[in-house]
Structure formats: C-alpha cells, structure tokens
Structure 1
Amino acid sequence: MADSTRHYFFVAKNTKTKTGYTIEFPTIPNLFASGVTYLEAVYYSYRVLSDFLKQLPHDEAALAAYTLSSIPDNKENTFYTIVSVPGDFDPHQMQTTFTIAQNLPEEIRRQADKLSHLVEYHKPVAL
C-alpha cells in the first residue's frame, strides 16, 4: 500500500440534477456516486474512489494513469472540483477543493456566487 503522507489528485465532475447530485471522475471510466445532498454525494464519491484505488496494482504508474491531467470547462449545472487522496486511500481523509479560475475579483465573485447556488448541503435540490 502507498505511503499515507503522499497525496494524489483527481478531477471530479459535479452535476446538480433534479433529484440531487452526481459526482463522476472523468479520468476513471464508469466511476460515479450520487446523493440527494451535495455532502451525501461527496461522501459516496470518496467511498467509491477509495474502493477503486485499493484494487489497483501496487505501483505508481497504475495509479498515475488516473490522476489529474486537466480540468474541463464548467457547463450548465456542472462544476469541477479536485479531490486530494492520501496515499493510504482512506476515504475519511480525502478532501475536496472547489476550482475557480484566476481572474479579476469581480469575475471570481461571480463564479463563487454561481457555485454557491449550485451546492446545497442539507436539503433536497430543485432545478
């Protein structure tokens, strides 16, 4: 198993749907999680990512093939985050970082405002 002080980074595609959220990993085909609230979807995404990584061969090349390579542009009701995964793949130690492009302060505020309206932590969402 990998060293727990090492971290790997994965792109997560987050989509707000009529019934909640879906989180996919563009670099890992067919790996996704969903939940009614954003926190629920994040929790399940950490679990499926951990399970996937634990079944890979124990070498850096196999793991590196799935790590962060690029972040696509956001689309309607979709935003991207970066998931930091410790070397031991513990889902309880994973962290998500929202991505906002470097820009003028007004544009950063606009992007942050749009993101804040897409993320609901505690109640079901409606589009």
Structure 2
Amino acid sequence: MAKNFIQPGHVVTVPAPASVASGALVQVGVLVGVAQFAAEPAEPVEIALEGVHELAKVSAQAWTVGQAIYISSTGLATTATAAGNVFIGVALAAAANPSPTGVVRLNGAAPAAPAA
C-alpha cells in the first residue's frame, strides 16, 4: 500500500455545520454524506459518502429509478437543479408524490465544477 494512504474514505469525519440528526444529510462545501450519529455544531461527526440510504426528500416530487438527486438548501434530497443544490447521487427506487423519503445511491462527492 502507498505510504501516503490515509483511509478508504467510505466514511469520513467532518465538523458538523449545524445540529444534525443521525441519518440526516450533512453538507460541508460540495462534500455531502449521511450522518452516522447526532452531533452539535462544530462537533466531529462521521458521514457516509457511499452506499444506499433512505433519505428525507422533498415530499411533492415523484422520482424515477436512475434520476439524479441533489441536496436542497433545506437539507432534503431533491431532483431540482436549482442554484446551490449539490449533486449527491441517483435514485435507486421510484418514489411517489407525495412521499417523505426516497432511496439514493450516494455518489461519494459532488463532481468538480467545469473549468470556465
């Protein structure tokens, strides 16, 4: 293994940007993951960057399998590509409108913005 290897990176520790509940989406810049436990602002919290998770979503949206999913400014999973929403993964199951949750395969990290 390379001498500069630190960790696999499936789960990483970040400072909680606000109070977070276990299982909630946590966003730090373009890094988005699922909180593995509750934490208060600035406390270390482990977030899963990969895997399939059932996430709180914008209720008034219907999802299809394979649809791109983003985190909204309110911390909910959404299909909306509004300014400031960060890509987090893809829907792995259809979700009805209305419904409180959806199944998402996390992408690990948002893709870098294209060069200007």
Larger relative strand fraction: 2
**TM exceeding 0.5:** no
Report the TM-score when normalising by structure 2. 0.24
Report the TM-score when normalising by structure 1. 0.23
Larger relative helix fraction: 1
Which structure carries more relative contact order (alpha carbon 8 Å, separation 6+)? Answer: 1
